[in-house]
């Protein structure tokens, strides 16, 4: 990591062995119990899934931060932060936190999470002023029975400002992810468009293949493309198979036949409108090509890996980088304590996205891309 020099001649850098004695002394001056020992510092400094950062002033270490990277998640954890009492109030903790966020980002973590005592006013204020928000609380978390706040920050908006500014719309019904995703894409191309539940339902009625309460109830790629094309947007459809999409859940042959007919009719209407339909598999490179051309891709995913429910689900891709595909997910899992922030620019590791962007036994891959009118 390159050291940086914010105001006050502060510099943040990775710890080296000769810092450890000073860091252990800072621990003693900062905490009454649960201190990190010199030995533990050494272990944290050398083991692969942790980072130990030191802030120094005039060449003297005055504080440190410890980050942990648990395996296979997008979350880094701030395990500890401390600034020597004589050096407080000069921005050392802010400098450490910013460096910790960049370090987490370098380790392909899109969130930084931490716990803090509810009565630690300086620390709570520090985190909240940096944009951390309360995810939950742990009652009786510390040895003296004090409760903890669990805080989290999504790092993408600050460290990744080039993500497309796709306005967010939350689906208001279980089966309207497709219309909600379409509304986000339309609004990003047509800022004056008013988003309402009425539009959500109108789009759903135009795009669904539902028949007599059979089927998933949601919308397929042709229906969504047709709803967009008939409003004047340039649209492109990518589907990996030509059979009846999303018919897996329908047992009755007669009902599947109706779904097939509706879908075929949508297909013909799309052809009459000159909408290109590509029958091919879908990969991240293809999504990136569409983004680079100014398109807003709606991608069908199986929500199994996120919500443990095997339902087809539409999300809007807002950008990609080396590690992640970012999506606006119209579903906000409020029962799990999520808020809108969790669903905006939600990072999904590229490897994971590949296995998520397919649905059903047949592994249907589908994407509808909207372009300016
Ligand atoms: C929390 C701690 C790391 C802050 O270090 P610091 O270098 O003094 O913090 P900074 O100078 O960077 O201050 C940044 C912000 O933190 C908050 N803050 C820091 N000290 C504060 C205090 N005494 N009271 C209220 N807010 C305070 C403020 O929001 C401040 O911004 P401002 O100066 O614009 O108001 C330091 O007090 C410390 O080491 N405490 C003991 C260890 C600890 O509690 N660690 C956190 C465990 S979760």
- 275-326 per-position pLDDT tens digit: 999 998 899 999 999 999 999 999 999 876 666 666 789 999 999 988 889 8
Q: Is the CB of residue 363 below 6 angstroms from any atom belonging to ligand 1?
A: no
Instruction: State whether residue 29 is helix, strand or coil.
Output: helix
Give the distance (Å) from ligand 1 centre to CA of residue 86. Answer: 12
Question: Which tens digits make up the pLDDT trace of 105-139?
Answer: 888 888 899 999 999 999 999 999 999 988 788 88
For residues 248 and 267, give the distance between their C-alpha atoms in angstroms, rounded to a whole number.
Answer: 19
**Residue nearest (by alpha carbon) to ligand 1 atom 12:** 91
Which is nearest to 218 in space by CA: 282, 302, 304?
302
Q: Are 96 and 65 in contact (CB under 8 A)?
A: yes
Tell me the CA distances in angstroms from 201 to 157, 196, 275, 326, one per residue in order: 31, 9, 23, 26
What sign has the CA pseudo-torsion 16, 22, 24, 29? negative
* pLDDT of 327 higher than 50: yes
Q: Pick the atom of ligand 1 nearest to 128's CA.
A: 29
Domains of the chain in sequence order: 10-157 (3.40.630.30), 177-371 (3.90.70.10)
Q: Is the CB of 126 under 6 A from ligand 1?
A: yes
**Does ligand 1 come within 6 angstroms of the Cβ of 81?**
yes
Please tell me if the CB atom of residue 53 comes closer than 6 angstroms to any atom of ligand 1: no
Q: Which ligand 1 atom lies nearest to the CA of residue 89? A: 11
**Residue 35 beta carbon below 6 angstroms from any ligand 1 atom:** no
Ligand 1 site-directed mutation target among 36, 123, 124, 129, most atoms within 8 Å of CB: 123
């Amino acid at each position: 990591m390159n050291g940086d020099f914010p105001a006050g001649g502060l510099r943040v850098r990775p710890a080296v062995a000769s810092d450890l004695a000073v860091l252990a002394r800072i621990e003693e001056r900062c905490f009454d119990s649960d201190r990190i020992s010199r030995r533990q510092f050494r272990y944290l400094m050398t083991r692969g899934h942790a980072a130990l950062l030191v802030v120094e002033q005039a060449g003297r270490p005055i504080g440190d931060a410890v980050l942990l990277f648990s395996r296979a998640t997008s979350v880094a954890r701030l395990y500890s932060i401390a600034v020597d009492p004589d050096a407080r109030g000069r921005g050392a903790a802010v400098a450490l936190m910013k460096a910790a966020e960049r370090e987490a980002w370098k380790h392909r973590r899109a969130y930084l999470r931490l716990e803090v005592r509810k009565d630690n006013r300086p620390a709570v204020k520090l985190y909240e002023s940096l944009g951390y928000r309360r995810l939950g609380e742990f009652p009786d978390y510390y040895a003296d029975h004090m409760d903890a706040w669990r805080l989290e920050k999504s790092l993408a908006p600050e460290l990744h400002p080039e993500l497309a500014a796709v306005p967010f719309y939350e689906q208001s019904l279980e089966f309207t992810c497709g219309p909600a995703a379409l509304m986000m894409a339309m609004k990003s191309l047509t800022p004056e468009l008013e988003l309402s539940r009425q539009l959500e339902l109108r789009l759903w009625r135009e795009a669904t293949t539902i028949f007599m309460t059979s089927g998933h109830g949601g919308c397929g790629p042709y229906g969504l493309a047709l709803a967009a094309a008939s409003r004047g947007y340039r649209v492109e459809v990518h589907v990996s198979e030509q059979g009846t999409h999303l018919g897996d859940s329908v047992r009755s042959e007669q009902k599947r036949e109706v779904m097939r007919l509706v879908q075929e009719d949508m297909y013909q209407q799309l052809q009459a409108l000159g909408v290109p339909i590509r029958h091919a598999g879908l990969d991240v490179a293809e999504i990136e090509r569409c983004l680079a051309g100014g398109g807003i891709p709606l991608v069908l995913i199986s929500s199994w890996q996120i919500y443990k429910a095997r339902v087809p689900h539409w999300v809007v891709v807002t950008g990609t980088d080396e590690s992640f595909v970012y999506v606006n997910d119209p579903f906000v899992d409020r029962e799990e304590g999520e808020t809108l922030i969790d669903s905006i620019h939600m990072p999904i590791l590229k490897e994971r996205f590949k296995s998520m962007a397919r649905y059903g036994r047949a592994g249907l891959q589908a994407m509808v891309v909207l372009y300016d009118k």
